[in-house]
Amino acid sequence: MAEMTKEEVKNLTPKKEPVRIPNYKYMRDQDRELVTGKFIYHEVPGGAFEFVYKAYKGDEVEKYSMVDGGIYKIPRGVAKHLNNNVWYPQYDYVPGEGMIGAVTNTTTHGGHIGKLMRITKKVRRVSFMSMEFLDIEGVPTSTPGIVTVEAANI
Protein backbone atom coordinates (compact mmCIF):
# COMPACT_ATOMS: atom_id res chain seq x y z
CA MET A 1 0.00 0.00 0.00
CA ALA A 2 1.11 3.48 -0.79
CA GLU A 3 1.53 5.88 2.04
CA MET A 4 -0.61 9.00 2.02
CA THR A 5 0.99 12.39 2.07
CA LYS A 6 0.22 14.94 4.76
CA GLU A 7 -1.86 16.92 2.25
CA GLU A 8 -4.03 13.87 1.43
CA VAL A 9 -4.58 13.15 5.12
CA LYS A 10 -5.51 16.80 5.67
CA ASN A 11 -8.10 16.61 2.88
CA LEU A 12 -9.69 13.48 4.44
CA THR A 13 -10.28 15.01 7.86
CA PRO A 14 -13.75 16.50 8.23
CA LYS A 15 -13.93 20.28 8.23
CA LYS A 16 -15.67 21.81 11.22
CA GLU A 17 -18.34 24.41 10.56
CA PRO A 18 -17.83 27.59 12.55
CA VAL A 19 -20.16 27.73 15.54
CA ARG A 20 -22.78 30.44 15.05
CA ILE A 21 -23.57 32.35 18.20
CA PRO A 22 -27.09 33.76 18.16
CA ASN A 23 -27.35 37.54 18.31
CA TYR A 24 -29.33 37.81 21.56
CA LYS A 25 -29.46 41.61 21.47
CA TYR A 26 -31.16 41.51 18.05
CA MET A 27 -33.53 38.73 19.17
CA ARG A 28 -34.39 40.63 22.36
CA ASP A 29 -35.12 43.81 20.38
CA GLN A 30 -37.37 41.85 17.99
CA ASP A 31 -39.26 40.27 20.88
CA ARG A 32 -39.82 43.67 22.52
CA GLU A 33 -41.62 45.20 19.51
CA LEU A 34 -45.28 45.77 20.33
CA VAL A 35 -47.98 43.95 18.37
CA THR A 36 -51.73 44.44 18.55
CA GLY A 37 -54.04 41.46 18.65
CA LYS A 38 -57.02 39.68 20.11
CA PHE A 39 -56.56 37.35 23.07
CA ILE A 40 -58.57 34.11 22.89
CA TYR A 41 -59.02 31.91 25.97
CA HIS A 42 -60.01 28.49 24.57
CA GLU A 43 -60.43 26.79 27.97
CA VAL A 44 -62.70 29.34 29.62
CA PRO A 45 -64.56 31.51 27.08
CA GLY A 46 -65.16 34.92 28.63
CA GLY A 47 -62.67 34.21 31.43
CA ALA A 48 -59.54 35.99 32.61
CA PHE A 49 -56.04 34.54 32.24
CA GLU A 50 -53.05 35.66 34.31
CA PHE A 51 -49.42 34.67 33.83
CA VAL A 52 -45.87 35.90 34.36
CA TYR A 53 -43.26 36.09 31.62
CA LYS A 54 -39.50 36.51 31.39
CA ALA A 55 -37.58 35.51 28.29
CA TYR A 56 -34.01 36.80 28.60
CA LYS A 57 -31.46 36.96 31.37
CA GLY A 58 -31.51 40.43 32.87
CA ASP A 59 -35.16 41.09 32.02
CA GLU A 60 -37.65 41.80 34.76
CA VAL A 61 -40.47 39.33 35.42
CA GLU A 62 -43.67 40.89 34.06
CA LYS A 63 -47.20 39.96 35.06
CA TYR A 64 -49.97 39.94 32.45
CA SER A 65 -53.71 39.68 32.93
CA MET A 66 -55.95 39.26 29.86
CA VAL A 67 -59.64 38.68 29.30
CA ASP A 68 -61.02 36.48 26.52
CA GLY A 69 -61.91 38.54 23.43
CA GLY A 70 -59.94 41.60 24.55
CA ILE A 71 -57.71 43.59 22.21
CA TYR A 72 -54.20 44.10 23.62
CA LYS A 73 -50.88 45.64 22.60
CA ILE A 74 -48.15 43.34 23.92
CA PRO A 75 -44.51 42.54 23.07
CA ARG A 76 -44.00 40.12 20.16
CA GLY A 77 -42.18 37.63 22.43
CA VAL A 78 -45.20 37.40 24.75
CA ALA A 79 -47.50 36.82 21.74
CA LYS A 80 -45.20 34.02 20.51
CA HIS A 81 -45.21 32.50 23.99
CA LEU A 82 -49.01 32.49 24.13
CA ASN A 83 -49.29 30.84 20.70
CA ASN A 84 -46.49 28.28 21.06
CA ASN A 85 -46.09 27.32 24.72
CA VAL A 86 -49.47 27.42 26.46
CA TRP A 87 -50.87 23.94 25.79
CA TYR A 88 -51.21 20.58 27.46
CA PRO A 89 -50.72 17.09 26.01
CA GLN A 90 -53.60 14.70 25.39
CA TYR A 91 -52.58 11.06 25.75
CA ASP A 92 -54.19 8.02 24.21
CA TYR A 93 -53.44 4.35 23.77
CA VAL A 94 -51.76 3.55 20.47
CA PRO A 95 -53.62 0.77 18.65
CA GLY A 96 -51.55 -2.18 17.54
CA GLU A 97 -48.49 -1.26 19.59
CA GLY A 98 -47.49 -2.99 22.80
CA MET A 99 -44.51 -3.15 25.09
CA ILE A 100 -42.20 -6.12 24.70
CA GLY A 101 -42.60 -8.58 27.56
CA ALA A 102 -45.58 -6.71 29.04
CA VAL A 103 -48.43 -8.46 30.82
CA THR A 104 -51.35 -8.96 28.44
CA ASN A 105 -54.12 -9.62 30.97
CA THR A 106 -57.05 -7.75 29.37
CA THR A 107 -59.49 -8.24 32.25
CA THR A 108 -58.03 -5.42 34.38
CA HIS A 109 -57.57 -1.72 33.73
CA GLY A 110 -60.04 -1.68 30.85
CA GLY A 111 -57.93 -4.01 28.73
CA HIS A 112 -55.05 -1.50 28.36
CA ILE A 113 -52.23 -3.45 30.04
CA GLY A 114 -49.31 -3.85 27.66
CA LYS A 115 -50.39 -1.06 25.30
CA LEU A 116 -48.35 2.09 24.79
CA MET A 117 -49.63 5.56 25.61
CA ARG A 118 -48.40 8.46 23.53
CA ILE A 119 -49.14 12.13 23.14
CA THR A 120 -51.74 12.19 20.39
CA LYS A 121 -52.65 15.86 20.43
CA LYS A 122 -51.56 19.24 21.79
CA VAL A 123 -54.57 21.06 23.25
CA ARG A 124 -54.18 24.84 23.08
CA ARG A 125 -55.27 26.71 26.19
CA VAL A 126 -54.93 30.24 24.78
CA SER A 127 -53.93 32.04 21.59
CA PHE A 128 -53.15 35.56 20.42
CA MET A 129 -54.50 36.50 17.00
CA SER A 130 -52.39 39.28 15.48
CA MET A 131 -54.25 42.22 14.00
CA GLU A 132 -51.30 43.67 12.13
CA PHE A 133 -53.16 43.39 8.82
CA LEU A 134 -56.79 43.43 10.04
CA ASP A 135 -59.23 46.14 11.05
CA ILE A 136 -60.65 45.83 14.57
CA GLU A 137 -64.17 45.87 13.10
CA GLY A 138 -63.32 42.84 10.91
CA VAL A 139 -62.54 40.53 13.83
CA PRO A 140 -65.09 37.75 14.39
CA THR A 141 -66.63 37.68 17.86
CA SER A 142 -66.62 33.88 18.13
CA THR A 143 -63.87 31.51 17.14
CA PRO A 144 -64.59 28.39 15.09
CA GLY A 145 -63.64 25.00 16.52
CA ILE A 146 -60.18 23.61 15.83
CA VAL A 147 -60.28 20.74 13.35
CA THR A 148 -57.58 18.09 13.48
CA VAL A 149 -56.96 16.11 10.30
CA GLU A 150 -55.20 12.76 10.61
CA ALA A 151 -54.31 10.11 8.08
CA ALA A 152 -56.54 7.05 8.12
CA ASN A 153 -54.96 3.65 8.70
CA ILE A 154 -55.93 1.54 5.72
pLDDT value, residue 18 = 83
Do the domain assignments include residue 12?
no
Q: Is residue 121 part of a domain?
A: yes
The answer, yes or no, to whether residue 92 has pLDDT greater than 50, is: yes
Among 154, 153, 128, smallest CA distance to 143 is for 128
**Residue 53 confidence (pLDDT):** 96
Domain that holds residue 82: 23-134
Cα atoms found within 13 Å of the Cα of residue 142, Cβ hemisphere only? 2
In this prediction, residue 111 carries a pLDDT of 58
Residue 15 CA to residue 8 CA, distance in Å, equals 14
Residue 114 forms part of a structural domain: yes
- For residue 124, give every residue at least 6 positions away whose Cβ sits within 8 Å of its Cβ, in sequence order, or none: 42, 86, 87, 146
Q: Which residue spans within the chain are E strands per DSSP?
A: 34-41, 48-53, 62-67, 71-75, 87-98, 115-124, 126-130
> Mean of the pLDDT values across residues 6-32?
83
Q: Could you tell me if residue 50 is inside a domain?
A: yes
What's the rounded mean pLDDT across residues 132-136? Answer: 59
Query: Sorting pLDDT into bands at 50, 70 and 90, what band is 54?
Result: very high
Please check whether residue 27 lies inside any domain of the structure: yes
Q: Give me the chain's average pLDDT, please.
A: 79
State yes or no: pLDDT of 81 exceeds 50: yes
In 3D space, the residue among 134, 24, 126, 11 whose CA is nearest the CA of residue 78 turns out to be: 126
Residue 37 contacts residue 126 (beta carbons within 8 Å)? no
Distance CA 149, CA 125 (A): 19
Question: Does 85 score more than 60 pLDDT?
Answer: yes
